[in-house]
Amino acid sequence: MARLNIYDPRERAMVATADALLRPLALRRAWRPRLEAAPGRILCFRVERIGDLLMTLPALAELRALAPAATIDLVVGDWNRDIAGAIRGIDRVETLSPAWLARDGSEGLSSLALMRKAADWRDRHYDLAINFEPDIRTNIALAMTGARRTAGFASGGGGALLDLALDFEASAHTADNALALVRATMGARCEETPPSSLDIPDERRQQASRLLEPLGRRPRVGIHVSGGREIKQWPESRFRDVAEHLVRNRDAGIVLTGAPTDRAQVEDNRSVLAPERVVDLTGTDLLTTAAVIAQLDLFVTGDTGPMHLARAVETPIVAIFGPSDPRRYGPRGVRDTVVRVDLPCSPCNRIRLPPARCTGHTPACLAEIDSPLVIAEIDDALARSAR
């Protein structure tokens, strides 16, 4: 079973069967010891993709504020190691590569291997363990750590193994679900959510400045062409329209971001730009990319991990949304803009199991967002930032 897909009836049935078998274990809550004092050692799980981790930053910041003296360890996917190390308030980062999240042909840890790895942490004697993702496999791993108290979401299965199991609110933003979990677990909340931006090392900021030097002092706009999945891909030709408009009419320099697998899509845009007007960051590590994005005037993207990276470093965003629900995943900065069209079927949020009518081509919810609409929002955003 890959990453859980709530739209797949077979996966829902498998989780329901597993939950039925685990249900008797819920009785253990009656005699599990309660924490009488503030937790001294806390373990947090967030092993999914970059956007999932970054949407957890406000919750991690609040957890640190509510437990200022605690040691907080964070478990993330291997791909998020550098970014996790830049999160304020985290004392130690552990990395895993679960098989259902592995990419580029790598094998990754099986569910059983993940549980054995979690059991190896028992000798750390965690007072509290929190799982920020609704997934039965990581809930089982959380229980294997032997933490005195465990908390997470029941919606993806495995809630019977947790001392505190919340339902993941599907209509709420992922960041708000994570905050709700921390507040329920700690029995308290901060009056104001603490700052949660990344703490980027000075050497990465200096490297970013050197990378951007060829663009001079003109406006700098980042563009992330790849949607990550076909169902979320705004046409590359329209990203080209955006880039050409920015160079021709805004005298902007363009910064193209992407993973090594995005090379062809990035090249499609880079080829229409004068070399002195573009910086290509394809394949650059995430922390350096974050440092570059932090120095941009604007970042243009679909619903992607780099969108959340821009939010984390407080760079204004113009985000193009199709099937994804911005109420759950959208950027929420005061200078951020979400561009979408209202259709009866959108947002369906069926990213991992798209409707048959939307496969093999650009879905209507993205096809109907034309270049002039996005360009108008970009011009407005740049005008606001110049004031």
Query: DSSP letters of 311-371?
Result: HHTT--EEEE-SSS-HHHH----TT-EEE---BTTB----SSS--GGGSSS--HHHHTS-H
Any domain includes 300 = yes
End of a domain among 157, 186, 215? 186
> Can you tell me the mean pLDDT for 31-54?
86
Same domain, 172 and 221: no
38 contact partners, CB below 8 Å, separation of at least 6? 67, 69, 70
Q: Of the ranges 23-27, 88-92, 151-155, 267-271, which one carries the lowest mean pLDDT score?
A: 23-27
- Mean pLDDT over the full length of the chain: 91
**Cβ pair 337, 214 in contact under 8 A:** no
Task: Name the token pair of 106.
Answer: 């790598």
Any domain includes 194 = no
Same domain, 146 and 217: no
Q: What pLDDT sits at residue 25?
A: 59
Q: Of the ranges 76-80, 234-238, 383-387, which one carries the lowest mean pLDDT score?
A: 383-387
What is the SS3 assignment for 172?
coil
More confident residue, 4 or 182: 182
How many domains in the chain? Answer: 2
Same domain, 158 and 210: no
Buried-exposed string 313-330: b where 16+ CB fall within 10 A, e elsewhere:
bbbbbbbbbbbbbbbbbb
End of a domain among 121, 155, 186? 186
> Can you tell me the mean pLDDT for 117-134?
96
181 contact partners, CB below 8 Å, separation of at least 6? 59, 130, 132, 151, 152, 153, 166
Any domain includes 330 = yes
Q: What pLDDT sits at residue 343?
A: 95
Give the residue numbers spanning the domain of 362: 202-386
**Strand arrangement of the beta sheet that strand 71-77 belongs to:** 92-96, 71-77, 41-46, 128-131, 149-153, 164-166
Say if residue 87's pLDDT is above 60. Answer: yes
pLDDT in tens, 228-245: 999 999 999 999 999 999
Any domain includes 3 = no
Say if residue 2's pLDDT is above 50. Answer: no
Same domain, 134 and 215: no
- 259 to each of 147, 226, 266, 285, how far by Cα in Å? 37, 9, 9, 9
Same domain, 45 and 98: yes
Q: Of the ranges 2-11, 22-31, 127-136, 338-347, which one carries the lowest mean pLDDT score?
A: 2-11
Say if residue 24's pLDDT is above 90. Answer: no
Any domain includes 123 = yes
Buried-exposed string 340-352: b where 16+ CB fall within 10 A, e elsewhere:
beeeeebbbebbe
Residue with tokens 């209509």: 171
What is the SS3 assignment for 154?
coil
CATH of the domain at 122: 3.40.50.2000
Q: What pLDDT sits at residue 14?
A: 60
- Three-state secondary structure readout of 246-292: HHHHHCCEEEEECCHHHHHHHHHHHCCCCHHHEEECCCCCHHHHHHH
Q: Minimal CA–CA distance to 239: which of 226, 249, 258?
A: 226
Any domain includes 206 = yes
Q: What pLDDT sits at residue 142?
A: 94
The confidence band for 33, taking pLDDT boundaries of 50, 70 and 90, is low
pLDDT in tens, 245-281: 999 999 999 999 999 999 999 999 999 999 999 999 9
Any domain includes 191 = no
Amino acid at 353: L
Same domain, 159 and 265: no
Say if residue 125's pLDDT is above 50. Answer: yes
Same domain, 340 and 244: yes
Same domain, 355 and 257: yes
The confidence band for 28, taking pLDDT boundaries of 50, 70 and 90, is low
Q: What pLDDT sits at residue 108?
A: 81
Q: What pLDDT sits at residue 19?
A: 58
Q: What pLDDT sits at residue 191?
A: 87
Same domain, 91 and 225: no
Same domain, 172 and 271: no
Any domain includes 1 = no
Paired residues of 165 in beta bridges = 152
Q: What pLDDT sits at residue 384?
A: 87
Say if residue 30's pLDDT is above 60. Answer: no
Task: Name the token pair of 150.
Answer: 């465990």
Same domain, 158 and 208: no
End of a domain among 154, 186, 218? 186
280 contact partners, CB below 8 Å, separation of at least 6? 256, 266, 270
Same domain, 238 and 379: yes
133 contact partners, CB below 8 Å, separation of at least 6? 45, 46, 47, 48, 52, 152, 153, 156
pTM of the predicted model, to two decimals? 0.91
Say if residue 350's pLDDT is above 50. Answer: yes
Say if residue 1's pLDDT is above 90. Answer: no
